[in-house]
Structure 1
Amino acid sequence: MTAHDLKTTLGSAKPIVDKTIVEKTHSIEQIRYGCAIGAMQSVVAIPRAIPITHCGPGCADKQFMNLAFYNGFQGGGYGGGAVTPSTNASEREVVFGGGERLTELIGSTLKVLEADLFVVLTGCIPDLVGDDIGAVVKPFQQQAVPIVFAETGGFHGNNFTGHERVTRAIIDQFVGPYDGAPEAGTVNVWTLLPYHNTFWRGDLTEIKRLLAGIGLKVNILFGPESAGVDEWKAIPRAQFNLVIGPWLGLETARHLETKYGQPFLHAPALPIGAGETSAFLRRVAAFAGLDKDRVEAFIADEDARYYKYIEDFTDFYSEYWWGLPARFAVIGDAGYALGLTRFLVNQLGLIPARVIVTDNPPEETRGLISAEFRAIADDVAVDVAFEEDSYTIHEILRKTDFGHKPPILFGTTWERDLARDLKGAIVEVGFPSSYEVVLNRSYVGYRGALTLLEKIYTTAVGASA
């Protein structure tokens, strides 16, 4: 699929040339997230969980194709893609309501599909006409069917919003109350948005490996390293919650603090590279009260291995200087943008020319995010821009001073043509990534940073050839 094909698939195939139209209508060219029902992919990311979508024809399929297929070609998983049941609500459901249709669909799903958890998600039609989804789901719950519901009509927000609604629905309707003692050394991790983040599977695998390495029992909750509903049921027993990223997961952690009395630790930046990862692990260990000797032994072993690879890499880095980028731009969600920028500045010495955050973080979190970017390094501060519209983003980048050397853009498929116009290189690190096939690749931690280095400089060398 070409970049033009993807534009047609993901929306807004026609370029907007009159910016005054955009300002009047608040249109967004080349979207960078899904709608709230895109949280069906968060359900799919839980082993043996299946979403049931109550929405118009094509809504579920479009969310899958956008977030999972033309974004690293990640596949459908156990309950995604063609497996996901949908009411395909039509004019009849608009006029008469869709409760009866949804009841029929849930009953049929239980007969045909086997799962440990079912999550009913709503689209715009049932939320607008006022279908009582709770009343539909409740009889099944009373029959001990593992099923919950979340209202995820598009006007509620994007798939980040939907993700928080789904996690809360599972916690409140499925996990339920708990009055036992916490298990020392057990942590619930809230971080990357599954599927939307192209590398979420590999990244969660690495995060779990790191936390387990310093002595924690980890409920990673999503992806191939999760134990599925058993981990979700174990959420209340955890000693604490860990939020990794500037804002996603904070709402869930605060809810768990209120519901179960669990404290939480907030680490705003994804750890990428030895320096950031070692500091991150020490902070987590101190919060959890872990054995310091074990923690330092693990970090020392990881550091030694990491810097041996870096030592070999420096032969290339110090000699192959022609054509390599000096300035960069990052265009993506707040979590990856912050982690990448810290790594590129502090590990590689590259200069940030522009950082644009595209995931529309809540207004109350933007001050924290801006402060984190202003403190990238002792002598480096970045003024981050918050923008969703690709037309505006690309205009900003065209006017950015990248110096006399070709720039490198860390962005998405939407930036490929722009990188060519700027005579630079592009590394796709976020949604949509339609020129990457991703299985378990990771860019976080010690190991992920080495993979990222390979990707960056293979791309740079290829672009200069």
Structure 2
Amino acid sequence: MTKPIETSRNGCALHGALQTIQEIEGFVPIIHSNAGCGLQQFLGGSRVSGCNGSGNAGGFAVASTNVIERQVIFGGTSRLREQIKNTVKIIKGDLYVVLSGCTTELVGDDIPAMTKEGREQGFPIINLSTPGFKGQIHYGYVTFIKGLVDELAKGNQAPTKKSKGLVNIFGIIPKQDVFWKGNLEELKRILEAVGLKVNTLVGYGEGIEAWKEVTNAELNIVFSPWGVNIGKHLEEHYETPYLEFDALPVGAEDTGLFLTKVAEKLNLDSVIVNNFIKEEKKKLDHYVEKILDFYVEYNFQKEFAIVGETSNVIGISRFLTNSFGLIPKVLIITDKVEDSYKDYLTKQIANLIDSFNVEVYFTEDGGEIKDIVRKSKIELVLGSSLEKEISEELKVPLQVISFPIVENVILNKGYAGFRGAISLVEDFSSVIITFENHIRLELKDKILA
């Protein structure tokens, strides 16, 4: 019998596709499932991802067939036909995407027939199979991207013409990475600074035209295991090579290495790249230097445990360890990667975080995570709001860096790149200083009493 998971932080496939669609301008999702699917994504995804709002076509306003017992017994295709027509009338969009849930997939509704009927009537509409029983939120993200690219490429008989300097970024899942907007904006900034044109594909200003250009890119840059799957698909079907990174680059060392690898792959001007890296490093060092007095006074060099998704855990840990002198004790990775990839990641972590015997765990179970952190004897926790309880129990500071986050509003802050490293230093320094001041005040009150 499968052991139940306590407080899982990974939604279902439908949620992964839905929250990605909601972050593309002009895209309108239509859920073909029961009423709870869209509601669960909003309450358990958007609202606890740095207080992200519902957007243009999400939240309580998301289009849904809201199937009930009648449709389960007699089929829901007619209900879907009705919902497609009503949605197109009410919500203006460049592309409508029907997402199937568990109920309608089990019943066997002919969803492709309904979307084909819609296209024959002139509606720009596609459908994707995203029932929760097929996988978690990451599977839905991958399914949506591969499906959308393939649909847009249909009927294009001409060979793909590569656009010089155009790159796509994959593997950063909207809202599942709570800092996705800021991370993508920083990656775009630094890549454009060395002469590239960047498709982030989700976020501000990204719409149907950007997606039509996906197969024309010279290179796909992928982060996390979920980007690799997409990279392989696009290389096989559209002859676009991909460059894989195990983690988001954080700080001068990692970001410089990231840019250097991209530059080598695309034969960019090394002088321009190196000058940019040098100037950004100089600027980062300038700001970090300002905190050094407090580093000593408040003992920033703490042993820490970190909890979150692969790309963030590795990137943030590497920066805090190699560039800022903190001591990693426990890394807990919460996205469900394949067993073969776990071995690979464990070896990579051992190589990337020098000279430390760090323990690596793969689990999304809230109970297990508490037990691991409880036994680790750490002085700082970097994780989600779910780790607040254990941090209070251990009387150590908590820096929220991963999903879910309920205490903070996150608009376009990120931890990737050069600027992201400054934000990270600001945030974890503030947490430590606030915590230490609180401890000192409590001690003073006890002495005076």
Counterpart for residue 145 of structure 1:
123
1:428 is aligned, of 381, 397, 400, to 400
After superposition, what is the alpha-carbon deviation per residue over 1:267-295, rounded to whole angstroms, capped at 9, x for unaligned?
Answer: 11110111111111111111111111111
Cα offset for 1:26?
1.5
**Rounded Cα–Cα distance in structure 2 between residues aligned with 1:377 and 1:82:** 44
* Amino acid in structure 1 at the alignment position of 2:10: Y
Cα offset for 1:89?
1.0
**Rounded Cα–Cα distance in structure 2 between residues aligned with 1:132 and 1:341:** 47
What is the CA RMSD across the aligned residues, in angstroms? 1.4
Aligned-pair identity (%)? 36
Counterpart for residue 317 of structure 1:
295
* Amino acid in structure 1 at the alignment position of 2:40: K
Cα offset for 1:452?
0.7
Counterpart for residue 334 of structure 2:
358
* Amino acid in structure 1 at the alignment position of 2:23: A
Counterpart for residue 328 of structure 1:
304
What does 1:50-65 align with in structure 2 at a 5 Å threshold? 50-65=28-43
**Rounded Cα–Cα distance in structure 1 between residues aligned with 2:145 and 2:130:** 12
1:453 is aligned, of 425, 445, 448, to 425
Counterpart for residue 349 of structure 2:
373
2:170 maps to 1:193:
no
**Rounded Cα–Cα distance in structure 2 between residues aligned with 1:78 and 1:325:** 44
Counterpart for residue 293 of structure 1:
271
2:384 is aligned, of 399, 412, 417, to 412
Query: Unmatched 5+ residue regions in structure 1?
Result: 1-23
**Rounded Cα–Cα distance in structure 1 between residues aligned with 2:148 and 2:304:** 40
Q: SS of 1:283's equivalent?
A: helix
What does 1:125-274 align with in structure 2 at a 5 Å threshold? 125-176=103-154, 177=156, 179-224=159-204, 226-245=205-224, 247-274=225-252
**Rounded Cα–Cα distance in structure 1 between residues aligned with 2:376 and 2:278:** 40
What does 1:6-45 align with in structure 2 at a 5 Å threshold? 24-38=1-15, 39-45=17-23
2:96 maps to 1:115:
no
2:312 maps to 1:340:
no
Cα offset for 1:107?
0.8
Counterpart for residue 4 of structure 1:
none
**Rounded Cα–Cα distance in structure 1 between residues aligned with 2:357 and 2:239:** 37
**Rounded Cα–Cα distance in structure 2 between residues aligned with 1:269 and 1:43:** 24
Check the 8 A contact 2:381/2:399 in 1, yes or no: yes
Cα offset for 1:377?
3.2
Check the 8 A contact 1:185/1:290 in 2, yes or no: no
Counterpart for residue 25 of structure 2:
47
Check the 8 A contact 2:298/2:432 in 1, yes or no: no
**Rounded Cα–Cα distance in structure 1 between residues aligned with 2:241 and 2:43:** 37
Check the 8 A contact 2:72/2:107 in 1, yes or no: yes
Counterpart for residue 102 of structure 1:
80
Cα offset for 1:183?
1.4
**Rounded Cα–Cα distance in structure 1 between residues aligned with 2:254 and 2:340:** 26
**Rounded Cα–Cα distance in structure 2 between residues aligned with 1:441 and 1:333:** 17
**Rounded Cα–Cα distance in structure 2 between residues aligned with 1:381 and 1:64:** 40
After superposition, what is the alpha-carbon deviation per residue over 1:430-452, rounded to whole angstroms, capped at 9, x for unaligned?
Answer: 11101111111111111011011
**Rounded Cα–Cα distance in structure 2 between residues aligned with 1:326 and 1:26:** 34
Q: SS of 2:243's equivalent?
A: strand
**Rounded Cα–Cα distance in structure 2 between residues aligned with 1:137 and 1:173:** 12
Q: Indicate the larger mover: 369-378 or 302-311.
A: 369-378
* Amino acid in structure 1 at the alignment position of 2:14: I
**Rounded Cα–Cα distance in structure 1 between residues aligned with 2:80 and 2:232:** 32
Q: SS of 1:262's equivalent?
A: coil
After superposition, what is the alpha-carbon deviation per residue over 1:320-367, rounded to whole angstroms, capped at 9, x for unaligned?
Answer: 134x45100111111111111111111111111111111111233222
Q: SS of 1:40's equivalent?
A: helix
1:444 is aligned, of 410, 416, 434, to 416
Cα offset for 1:126?
0.6
Query: Unmatched 5+ residue regions in structure 2?
Result: 438-449
Q: How many residues align?
A: 434
**Rounded Cα–Cα distance in structure 2 between residues aligned with 1:40 and 1:375:** 36
* Amino acid in structure 1 at the alignment position of 2:208: V
**Rounded Cα–Cα distance in structure 2 between residues aligned with 1:301 and 1:357:** 33
**Rounded Cα–Cα distance in structure 2 between residues aligned with 1:142 and 1:207:** 40
Check the 8 A contact 1:426/1:459 in 2, yes or no: yes
**Rounded Cα–Cα distance in structure 1 between residues aligned with 2:33 and 2:177:** 24
**Rounded Cα–Cα distance in structure 1 between residues aligned with 2:30 and 2:424:** 36
* Amino acid in structure 2 at the alignment position of 1:238: A
Check the 8 A contact 1:56/1:90 in 2, yes or no: yes
TM-score, normalised via structure 2 length = 0.94
Check the 8 A contact 1:35/1:154 in 2, yes or no: yes
Counterpart for residue 20 of structure 1:
none
Check the 8 A contact 1:53/1:123 in 2, yes or no: yes
* Amino acid in structure 2 at the alignment position of 1:459: V
Cα offset for 1:84?
1.2
Q: SS of 1:285's equivalent?
A: helix
**Rounded Cα–Cα distance in structure 1 between residues aligned with 2:6 and 2:318:** 29
Q: SS of 1:184's equivalent?
A: coil
